[in-house]
A and B are shown apart, each in its own frame.
Chain A
Amino acid sequence: MATPMTPSDAELLQLIVAGDEPAFTALYRRHQGFVYRFALMMSGSTDVAEEVTQEVFLALIRDTHGYDPARGALDAYLRGMARNQVLRLLARERPYVPLVEEAEEGAAVLITQLIARDDQFRDCTRNEVIKLVRQAVLALPIHYREVLVLCDFQELSHAEAALVLDCPVGTVNSRLHRGHALLLKRLRVIGKIDSAARDTQGTRCFA
């Protein structure tokens, strides 16, 4: 039995230009989720995520021709717009955004328990883990945070992330590594995590 063909983004965009409302609804429902979640992970605020989602699709309504299929897929274009909106809103709201709680003690609990003997969430509830990691991500500098959100949370390839961020793939690689290092540092109390192992090792080995 033949299944109905799902229209491509390009086909939907053509219909949108012609004023087809169901086409816009279909395109919006197809892509709003990752735009919203990207903004949510970047800002930690549902209000910002909501506003970013509105602005991104409103811009698409106003200027459908602004998207050039030759430059990449529509979702990359939308993510790029979402990123710009997030940066704009974060810059605007910065004076009013409360400092992210470092939660050093809790973070120590997190990492040591996450890696505890094949039982990652034995003593630390899942919600606590989620809360602590999210706080640590939000405390990262923006340019590390956006790479982490794209590559780890939205599971884009490095090349796809580079397209969204309009930077070389090598930059994505290095920022991802650096971002992870910073994140682990935030989630670790130096000297407590695996301290026994570190003590025995002392200095870096070059085996």
Chain B
Amino acid sequence: MNCQGFEKLALALARDQFLDAAVREQSLAHTEVCVRCAAHLAEERALLAGVHAIVAELAQQEAPARVEAALLTAFRQQVTAAAPVVIPMPIKTRTSWQRGAVAAGILILISMLAIFWQRSGSRDQQAETRAVAPAPSALDRDRATPAQPVAPGPRSRVRHHPSGINSDDIEVVTEFFPLREGEDLTALASGQMLRVELPGSALSDVGLPVTPETVNTPVKADVVLGDDGLARAIRFVR
């Protein structure tokens, strides 16, 4: 056997793969007379030792539990989705620049509304102001789960006005969606909530479904402003 022949077999030899006994014998005999090929075999074996160390290191590595939780949520939605119109959004499909663009657009809109609102001095007519401490749990993960319709469901809740029994006062609201990536809303100690109207297409910006009928229909939304005046989160109201 020459070096060319050995090179083809070096990897199989190093991996202790099944080889014809005679071929194996010849290969090993070659390493007795060729120091270069013997070194090559030793290198391959050393490399595989490193590979095995990595395999052992990674053997217990698994996807974190939150992945399973998110997938189960998606599975349930897939099963319960009666209307085929709503296609669940893939988890974390939005790229960071898309999220940034959406957040920037909403921030500009909110800032303009806030300036207008402050100048007009008619807060009572346009805004519902109150101290809020939004502490929705695992908001980031909520955003990463597939979209749900704005209707009573796991991510929506009914809000009753304290003084009213009139059914017109019942509002259905979604959870809060952070407007900046990585925003921890639980860290927001105080702020203001501003009621605004947005085009229906804004629903899609946070991953909620939009039908052709609702794309131009105005929707109400509550925007949480931080102490610095910047919009931090939004929820939609029906």
A207 contacts B33, CB within 8 Å? yes
Query: Is B19 part of the binding interface, using a Cβ–Cβ cutoff of 8 Å?
Result: no
Interface footprint category on B: 35 or more
Encode A16-55 as 1/0 by CB contact (under 8 A) with B. Answer: 0001010011001100110111001100000001110111
In the complex, A110→B71 CA distance in Å? 41
Asked whether A184 and B95 contact (CB < 8 A) given A21-B72, A36-B62, the answer is no
User: What residues of chain A lie closer than 8 Å to B39, measured between beta carbons?
Assistant: 193-194, 197-198
B57 contacts A53, CB within 8 Å? no
Instruction: Name the one of B2, B46, B54, B91 contacting A120, with C-beta atoms under 8 angstroms.
Output: B46
Query: Is B75 part of the binding interface, using a Cβ–Cβ cutoff of 8 Å?
Result: yes
A50 contacts B67, CB within 8 Å? yes
A21 contacts B75, CB within 8 Å? yes
In the complex, A155→B58 CA distance in Å? 13
A40 contacts B58, CB within 8 Å? yes
Interface footprint category on A: 35 or more
In the complex, A180→B10 CA distance in Å? 11
B75 contacts A200, CB within 8 Å? no
B2 contacts A206, CB within 8 Å? yes
Instruction: Name the one of A25, A62, A134 contacting B72, with C-beta atoms under 8 angstroms.
Output: A25
User: What residues of chain A lie closer than 8 Å to B166, measured between beta carbons?
Assistant: none
In the complex, A131→B4 CA distance in Å? 32
User: What residues of chain A lie closer than 8 Å to B61, measured between beta carbons?
Assistant: 33, 36-37, 40
User: What residues of chain B lie closer than 8 Å to A115, measured between beta carbons?
Assistant: 42-43, 45-46
CB closest residue in chain B, given A155: B55
In the complex, A153→B170 CA distance in Å? 58
Asked whether A152 and B75 contact (CB < 8 A) given A40-B58, A129-B53, A197-B38, the answer is no
Query: Is A65 part of the binding interface, using a Cβ–Cβ cutoff of 8 Å?
Result: no
Query: Is A111 part of the binding interface, using a Cβ–Cβ cutoff of 8 Å?
Result: yes
CB closest residue in chain B, given A203: B36
Asked whether A193 and B43 contact (CB < 8 A) given A41-B58, A50-B64, the answer is yes
User: What residues of chain B lie closer than 8 Å to A206, measured between beta carbons?
Assistant: 2-4
A61 contacts B74, CB within 8 Å? yes
Encode A55-68 as 1/0 by CB contact (under 8 A) with B. Answer: 10110011000000
Instruction: Name the one of B3, B8, B62, B75 contacting A32, with C-beta atoms under 8 angstroms.
Output: B62
Encode A141-162 as 1/0 by CB contact (under 8 A) with B. Answer: 0000000000011010000000
CB closest residue in chain A, given B48: A152
Q: Which of A40, A110, A115 has the most CB of B within 10 A?
A: A115
A54 contacts B50, CB within 8 Å? no
Encode A79-92 as 1/0 by CB contact (under 8 A) with B. Answer: 00000000000001
Asked whether A201 and B34 contact (CB < 8 A) given A61-B78, A92-B95, A126-B53, the answer is yes
User: What residues of chain B lie closer than 8 Å to A133, measured between beta carbons?
Assistant: 47, 50-51, 53-54
23 contacts between A and B (CB under 8 A): A29-B68, A32-B62, A35-B63, A36-B63, A50-B67, A54-B63, A54-B67, A61-B75, A111-B43, A114-B47, A120-B49, A133-B53, A152-B48, A153-B51, A184-B44, A197-B39, A201-B36, A205-B2, A205-B33, A205-B36, A207-B2, A207-B30, A207-B33
Q: Which positions in A face B, CB cutoff 8 Å? A: 19, 21, 24-25, 28-29, 32-33, 35-37, 40-41, 49-51, 53-55, 57-58, 61-62, 92, 110-111, 114-115, 120, 126, 129-130, 132-134, 152-153, 155, 176-177, 180, 183-184, 187-188, 193-194, 197-198, 200-201, 204-207
Closest 9 CB pairs of A and B: A114-B46, A133-B50, A19-B79, A197-B35, A194-B39, A36-B63, A53-B63, A115-B46, A201-B36
Q: Which positions in B face A, CB cutoff 8 Å? A: 2-4, 8, 11, 30, 33-39, 42-51, 53-55, 57-58, 61-64, 67-68, 70-72, 74-76, 78-79, 88, 90-93, 95
